Amino acid sequence: MSDKVPGIQHIIATSSGKGGVGKSTISINLALGLMQKGFKVGIADVDIYGPSIPSLMGLEDEHPQVLGQTLMPLQKHDLKIMSMGFLVGQDTPAILRGPMITKFIHQFVTGVKWGELDYLILDLPPGTGDAQLSLSQQVPLTGALVVTTPQSISVKVALRGLKMFEKVNVPILGIVENMQGWATPEGPSPFHGGKKLAEISGAPFLGSIPMDQTVAISGDEGEPLMIRYPESDAAQAFRGIVSGLLDQVNHLAAAPAALGSFKWDLKTGEGKPKSWED
């Protein structure tokens, strides 16, 4: 993997196997949570297919300044923000293909004038395809967060993401469960997918975000939860996850091999629980 990007201490990717599990919401609110702890933070929305950071941050009509070859990030709520959406437009069908996407993403990290950052959060497109794989190899990630919902289908797909990062030696900093308590016709979902995923993968479980109107409203209205409803249960949950994330980053610095190690051997399949398919 390439060397650190000058000026950026840690780059953390937020990923999920399935789309719509709340990756962008989590990226923004964790970024703000880190910022509220006193860190300098940037967020890069590299979801070329459906960039949503501009609308979640209330920045739909904004365009970044270009200085020579350099893109200047936008700033809001003390975050530095760059999104594919500022460049391609939210409704422009994305025609970029694999290698072009990777190049684009790489430029996003290296060609944006981020200045000094403690953390850069990368909001990845959903899935575990080529774009995510090559990104994990080309951008010097400190580690990845994997987002899942409590349901077992989301967990199975998230597991593919965990394996992908494992293959390219990107540490899993933690698993975040979103939309917890989502009601099914029988009542609240009985599954606790985040914990289960942590259990079978050996990756740390950082916490759950409840399914909560405050999250949905702040997303719809373009004013992030951590700003609009800082006292809500969901904001409290985000603060817990930020603390867990910081602990993992510190652990990783102290003992790089300790994180993200699967309990089963991915090559031989030894130790794999029977109920989990590839």
Ligand X SMILES: Nc1ncnc2c1ncn2[C@@H]1O[C@H](COP(=O)(O)OP(=O)(O)OP(=O)(O)O)[C@@H](O)[C@H]1O
Least distance (Å) from Mg ion to the CB of residue 80? 18
State which residue, 122 or 206, has the beta carbon closest to Mg ion: 122
Beta strands in the chain (DSSP E): 8-15, 41-45, 66-67, 70-71, 74-76, 79-83, 117-123, 143-148, 172-180, 183-184, 187-188, 205-210
Cβ distance 145 to 238 under 8 Å? no
Q: Length of the chain, please?
A: 278
Q: Return the residue of 14, 16, 24, 102 that touches Mg ion, per CB under 5 A.
A: 24
Q: What does the DSSP 8-state code read for residue 142? A: S
Identify the bridge partners of residue 79 per DSSP, sorted by sequence position. 76
Maximal C-alpha separation, the chain: 58
DSSP string, 177-202: EEEET-EETTEE----HHHHHHHHH-
Q: Return the residue of 11, 12, 47, 142 that touches ligand X, per CB under 6 A.
A: 47
State which residue, 108 or 200, has the beta carbon closest to Mg ion: 108
Is residue 215 at the binding interface for ligand X, with CB under 6 A as the rule? yes
Determine the residue with CB nearest ligand X: 219
Q: Rg of the chain's alpha carbons, rounded to an integer?
A: 18
Q: Which amino acid is at 242?
A: V
Is residue 129 at the binding interface for ligand X, with CB under 6 A as the rule? no
State which residue, 166 or 212, has the beta carbon closest to ligand X: 212
- The interface region with ligand X, picked from 18-26, 36-44, 69-77, 130-138 by CB under 6 A, is 18-26
16 binds, options Mg ion, ligand X, none, Cβ within 5 to 8 A by partner type: ligand X
Is residue 134 at the binding interface for ligand X, with CB under 6 A as the rule? no
134 binds, options Mg ion, ligand X, none, Cβ within 5 to 8 A by partner type: none
174 binds, options ligand X, Mg ion, none, Cβ within 5 to 8 A by partner type: none
Residues 161-200 within binding reach of ligand X (CB under 6 A): 178-179
State which residue, 127 or 143, has the beta carbon closest to ligand X: 127
Is residue 52 at the binding interface for Mg ion, with CB under 5 A as the rule? yes
Is residue 20 at the binding interface for ligand X, with CB under 6 A as the rule? yes
State which residue, 122 or 215, has the beta carbon closest to ligand X: 215
* Dist CA 84 CA 104 (whole Å): 9
- Ramachandran area for residue 93 (φ above 0: left; ψ -120 to 50: alpha; else beta): beta
Angle in degrees, CA 206, 31, 76, rounded to 5 = 160
Q: Return the residue of 45, 166, 177, 212 that touches ligand X, per CB under 6 A.
A: 212
* Dist CA 20 CA 6 (whole Å): 33
Q: Using CB under 6 A as the criterion, which residues of the chain lie in contact with ligand X when the complex forms?
A: 16, 19-25, 47, 50, 52, 126, 178-179, 209, 211-212, 215-216, 219
Which residues lie near Mg ion (CB under 5 A)? 23-24, 52
